[in-house]
Every structure is written in C-alpha cells, then in structure tokens.
Structure 1
C-alpha cells in the first residue's frame, strides 16, 4: 500500500505546479498569495515525509 504522506506531498506539488503554470503573477522567486500558500503546503508535507524517512 502506498505511503499516504508521500501521496499527499506529491499531490500538493502537482497542485502547485498547475497553479504556477496558469498564474501570471508567480515566478520561481516570487509567488502570489495563493501560490505562496500552495508552495508552503507542499514544503510542509515534503519536510514531514523526508523527516520520517531519515534514519534515527
């Protein structure tokens, strides 16, 4: 069974990518408020996933 946290962080990345492709305000270095919120969600989920994968 696939890891739920991994799937959630990958889904957050796809949502951010979709937004970034359509948004005329977002760039690689600056994001609109919605883009910033989506990026932060992706970062939090990715950090949680990677932290859990690190050996103790």
Structure 2
C-alpha cells in the first residue's frame, strides 16, 4: 500500500466517522427537544464510554 492509498483510506474513514457523528448529534438534538434530561444522560454516557470524562464527573 502506498501513501496515496493510505491517505485515501484515511479520508474515507474520517468521512464515515464525521457522518456518523453528525447523525448522532442530530439524534441528540431531537431527543433534547423531547426530553432534555434523557438527552443529557445519553450525552454523558457517550462521553464516559469514549473516555472523554470519567464516571464520577
């Protein structure tokens, strides 16, 4: 695999990740309109799951 193939693969991966993140944020916004407390809990759990924050925060 050469550097162009690697760069292309990384761009494709980053694009897929960005689209998934966009869908998640849209879902969270919709959920926030329906139930702000559930949206906060869901966002906090996602941050904990990904290691952005620790459980006690």
TM over 0.5: no
- From the two aligned structures, give the one with the greater helix fraction: 2
TM class by shorter-chain length? 0.3 to 0.5
**Structure ID, larger Rg:** 2
